[in-house]
Amino acid sequence: MTAPAPELEGDFVLDEDLLLECGRTLVRPTLHYAVYGRLNAARDNGVLVCHALSGSALVGAWWPELFGGNSETRGIVDLRRDCVICVNLLGSCYGSTGPGSVDPATGEVYGAKFPLISIRDNVRAQAQLLESLGIATLSLAIGGSIGGMQALELAILFPERVKEVVVIGVAPLSAMGLALNHLQRRAIESDPDWRDGAYAPDRQPKKGLALARQVAMLSYKSASLFTERFARRPNRNREDPWADDGRGSGLTGAGRFDVAGFLDYQGERFLDRFDANAYLAIVRTMDTWDPLRGYERAEDAYGRIRARLTFVGISSDWLFPPGDVRRLAESVRECGVQADYREMVTDHGHDAFLAEQTELVRLLHLPI
């Protein structure tokens, strides 16, 4: 299918400064967003799609199956009926205010001084954008990974503003997830080209950012997918992992295994499309998310929810294990909220929600 094109792609500048959960202030931040389809007269057909770490507002490009569009699969949204809004995360490098933006207070690029932005900060800013669009209540908010964090927080913070929420492949990061993110952070910081965050935009800490992406790719896939795709085969360009002709390095090898070639390629490719400080910013947004933080009891948070929730676990996900997603769904349900749990059965790992979109859409269409 062809990816749907946005009706509108634009910037929304907040009327006022955003007081952040960490106590700092973001001076009149910009939200870059895209709109697909049109709002109806009642403005009650809005669907908010929330993106993950390296995503952008252009959801049509990265989640096309959500829109269906071919005869076999009915999408989750239908642009003849729905109006889809997707907002770039604060901290990102795809248009919203991030570490690469100029701090109006100093006239300088934020760099490493960009503040800690929480999921709630994002959701509060997005609520102001929705207000400006005249959307009182969304028919649906949906997201995977960090996108799911935002969708759930929206249901908690603004219970009247969303009727249905789909949370995919996410729960508060476990210790293993925090560990994986920490290695990615260290990979970037360890690159001298990072310069404590003060690198010029065209002088990215490339090796560190590529290595961070490689660690991330590992966590997005599964051991069984890797075995199926790569096994112990030599790299497909005919390198020989057993070779040592004495001319090169016996330590690092003239030849890679196929999985190593794949990881190197993924790391390299990422450099064309992401910024190191933005990466660090969003990893911290992800690390610090806990929907119960600041509440005394689970009921105080989850009990606020008015939307109908669907949680989707991914069977082979080891970054956000399905058991964690199921437990999150159960905690929410125990607070009297309608919360369904479904599981994508797949070998793919965490990013199955992007890699196997048709299966995800089918799963969401199953009756409760």
**Is 182 labeled as catalytic in the residue annotation?**
no
Residues in 302-321 at the binding interface with a copy of itself, rule: CB under 8 A: 318, 321
Whose CA is closest to 139, among 167, 162, 160? 162
Reading the block at residue 296, the tokens are 């005394």
Applying CB under 8 A, the span of 40-48, 158-166, 258-266, 333-341 interacting with a copy of itself comes to 258-266
Reading the block at residue 166, the tokens are 């789909």
Whose CA is closest to 23, among 144, 145, 115, 114? 115
For 343, the 3-state DSSP assignment is: strand
Residues in 334-363 at the binding interface with a copy of itself, rule: CB under 8 A: none
Q: Distance between CA atoms of 195 and 321, rounded to whole angstroms?
A: 35
How far CA 157 is from CA of 4, 150, 305, in Å, comes to 30, 10, 8
**Is 350 labeled as catalytic in the residue annotation?**
yes
Length of the chain measured in residues: 368
- Contact flag: residue 178 with a copy of itself (CB under 8 A): yes
Q: Distance between CA atoms of 128 and 138, rounded to whole angstroms?
A: 13
Nearer to a copy of itself, 288 or 310 (CB): 288
Nearer to a copy of itself, 87 or 171 (CB): 171
**Is 96 labeled as catalytic in the residue annotation?**
no
Residues in 26-65 at the binding interface with a copy of itself, rule: CB under 8 A: none
From 239, 290, 343, 359, residue interacting with a copy of itself (rule: CB under 8 A): 290
Residues in 71-110 at the binding interface with a copy of itself, rule: CB under 8 A: 99
Applying CB under 8 A, the span of 162-170, 229-237, 305-313, 326-334 interacting with a copy of itself comes to 229-237
Applying CB under 8 A, the span of 41-49, 119-127, 143-151, 173-181 interacting with a copy of itself comes to 173-181
How far CA 231 is from CA of 29, 68, 226, 236, 254, in Å, comes to 47, 34, 7, 12, 19
- Contact flag: residue 12 with a copy of itself (CB under 8 A): no
User: 206-220 vs 258-270: helix axis angle to the nearest 10?
Assistant: 120
**Least Å distance between CB 116 and a copy of itself?**
4
**Least Å distance between CB 29 and a copy of itself?**
14
- Contact flag: residue 159 with a copy of itself (CB under 8 A): no
- Contact flag: residue 295 with a copy of itself (CB under 8 A): no
Burial per residue of 244-254, b for 16 or more beta-carbon CB atoms within 10 angstroms, e otherwise: eeeeeeeeebb
**Least Å distance between CB 223 and a copy of itself?**
4
Applying CB under 8 A, the span of 77-85, 145-153, 241-249, 358-366 interacting with a copy of itself comes to 241-249
Pick the catalytic residue from 121, 275, 317, 324. Answer: 317
Chain Cα centroid distance, residue 302: 22
Residues with catalytic roles: 145, 317, 350
